[in-house]
Amino acid sequence: MAEKLQLTGPTATELPTPRGSDSVDTSSTRPPADVSNHQLAVALTWVARGVPVVPCSRTDKGALVPGFGKDVPTADIVKTFSDRETVTSWWSGRFKRAHVGLLGGRGPGGLVVIDLDMLKPDAPAPTGRWAGCQGGTDVLEMLARQAGADWPETYTTLTPSGGMHLYFRQPEGAPIGCATGDGPTAPHLGPLVDVRGLGGYVIAAGSYSAAQGRAYERITPAALGPQPLPGWLLELLRPVAPPAAPPRPPAPVRTLAPGSSRADRYADRALTGETEAVAHAPAGERNGRLFAAARRLGELHPTAPAVLDETTVHDQLLGAALAAGLRGGEREALRTIRSGWERGTRDGAGRGAGAA
């Protein structure tokens, strides 16, 4: 027996969500006349809209074809999961009755979907901040009201279990990923709310499964497509950037006193040369060049300790490494400098700057 849609119930707020409006159309309990052709048509419709698709189980909705994850969609993955011939072969053969999954993407052409679940009969109700929420719609309403915003108008579907999917376009810049339920960091929004963006997928509107007895049904006007994320929601979905570290003061400029020894003059030139070499090292060679510089200056240290004291060498090389863009930042640079310096001072015992 088909599960009855839960279109009404206690709510925590009074925002006019689609679920509570008079315009909600309940999905039909009648299956398509030809499920296989119906699913293929749904898949090709979404491919034509530029959204990659993947066959999914009719029972647990798990993806039936591997090949995508947190780093999708690469160009190769988009090509595979958006190829009409490949998609047609999937839903004409082994996966002809499978659900149609829509892959989250990156950039404004990709999707990020807010999945609002209903509270299951045997599940405990949310407490604390979320007390009174009977479903994900209540949670999203509460977040919208706290932001002083309206319920977001965008492409929306009802799921066979009575949940709701809100489709949005991925923002510019870093894409929104995935999150399930409540959590301490973005993009978690709250209990009974899942986020499906880059690396995730949702079942497409129109997809039908006899196991669930209903199709995923669009409830918004046909002309209304996925909209950009409203600012208040994007702010909740984006991780808060850590405060920028205060800039390091520039390393002090050292000048040699008149009448300096030959060893000191040689060490000074070596420090300048090694620092410049690190600052201009190409990508892929920066860490090795930094180690070599610290090692050489460590070897020269014993006969020019006033010029190549440890603090001066570390500060000069660190500034050069950060200017070059060494991967790993300050922590990695200091580790490499210490390692090279220790090797050099050990190997340089008995060797002097003036001997070079």
Q: Is the pTM of this model over 0.75?
A: no
Query: Tokens in use for 135?
Result: 């479903």
Q: What is the pLDDT of residue 193?
A: 97
- Note if the bond before 187 is cis, omega within 30 degrees: yes
What is the residue extent of each domain of the chain?
18-237, 262-349
Do residues 142 and 130 touch, judged by C-beta distance below 8 A? yes
- Note if the bond before 246 is cis, omega within 30 degrees: no
Helix/strand/coil for 99: strand
Q: What is the pLDDT of residues 135-155, one digit of tens each?
A: 999 999 999 999 999 999 999
> What are the φ/ψ torsions at residue 100 (nearest 5 degrees)?
-100, 110
Q: What is the pLDDT of residues 86-99, one digit of tens each?
A: 999 999 999 999 99
Q: What is the pLDDT of residue 215?
A: 87
Contacts of residue 201, Cβ cutoff 8 Å, sequence gap at least 6: 54, 56, 63, 101, 102, 103, 104
Task: State yes or no: pLDDT of 134 exceeds 60.
Answer: yes
Q: What is the pLDDT of residues 256-267, one digit of tens each?
A: 767 788 888 898
Task: State yes or no: pLDDT of 223 exceeds 60.
Answer: yes
Give the H/E segment covering residue 92.
Answer: helix 84-92
Q: What is the pLDDT of residues 313-334, one digit of tens each?
A: 999 999 899 888 887 788 888 9
Buried b (16+ CB within 10 A) or exposed e, 126-161: beeebeebbbbbbbbbbbbeeeeeebbebbbbbbbe
